Amino acid sequence: MAEVLAETQALESTTLGIYRTATVVKGGRRFSFAALVVVGDRNGSVGIGYGKAPGVPAAIEKAQKDAKKNIKKVILKAGTLPHPVTGKFGASSVRLIPAAPGTGVIAGATVRAVLEMAGVVDCLTKSYGSNNHKNLSRAVLEGLLSLRLRTDIEALRGVKLEKTAVDEILEASKKHMSDATDASAAIEKAKAPVNTVGQKKPGGKKGGRKPRRGGDKPAGEAPKAEAPAAAAPAEEPKSE
């Protein structure tokens, strides 16, 4: 789960792995911990940090500080990548492929965490070689840093490039979404009004609550106690 680091910068942190090491000393074994953390704002900024400490919380804190020092800006296009790219680091290699809107991030836990912190919403991935967390995360970051926009390549080479496959996918998805919106609006407009003829309406003469006997009394008022009936006078005996 992502942890918010700074509200002003909108930075979030995700822990990729916790590692424990032991040093054998005269009195036994002494443990230390290391943490691998990725930090990003989900809007094109991402960084990876590594920290060591005798305790886990301290190691994570040091890794977060290291990641914030190494934050890099990556180039994205409409929530996906401008073009396919392959990132390599050590024995790991990751292939990143742009995807249409609504696809989501199809990747493993480590690759997904780095892409989501960078702000990628739709992407297909495939990893090769080692599945070590450190190598995979660095390979994804190397691939993201090698992305270029079409305008940058045109300015660098001095040529005019045609539309790429990613541009065609994005245009087709926008057209499809607009058509779906128009169709739903037409369906709502074509709905016939509800026929209420012959239905009893609440309230009025026939509806509503019937009045109680003796009229309505305000709530909370206790009923008045009735006075006891007077006793009938005793009959006098008749004299003969």
Nearest residue to 37 via CA among 134, 135, 141, 143: 134
pTM of the model: 0.66
Select from 78, 105, 107, 94 the least CA-distant residue to 144: 94
Percent of the chain with pLDDT over 70: 64
Parallel, antiparallel, or unpaired for β 28-40 and 45-53?
antiparallel
Burial 101-115 (b: 16+ CB within 10 A, else e): bebebebeebbbbbb
Domains and CATH numbers, the chain: 3-73 (3.30.160.20), 74-187 (3.30.230.10)
pLDDT at 213: 66
Low-confidence winner among 37-41, 66-70, 209-213 (lowest mean pLDDT): 209-213
Say whether 53 sits in a helix, a strand or coil. strand
Alpha-carbon span 72 to 132, nearest angstrom: 22
pLDDT tens digits for 24-67?
Answer: 988 889 999 999 999 999 989 999 999 999 999 999 999 999 99
pLDDT of 178 > 90? The answer is no
Taking alpha carbons only, the member of 121, 126, 128 closest to residue 90 is 128
Tell me the residue length of the chain: 240
The mean predicted confidence, pLDDT, of the chain is 79
Identity of the amino acid at 169: I
Sort 83 into a burial class: Cβ within 10 Å, 0-12 / 13-18 / 19+: buried
Q: How far apart, in whole angstroms, are the C-alpha atoms of residue 135 and residue 46?
A: 16
When pLDDT is cut at 50, 70 and 90, the band that residue 160 belongs to is: confident
Q: What is the pLDDT of residues 77-97, one digit of tens each?
A: 888 898 899 999 999 999 999
Q: How far apart are CA 113 and CA 140, in angstroms?
A: 10
Alpha carbons 177 and 184: distance in angstroms, whole number? 11
Percent of the chain with pLDDT over 90: 47
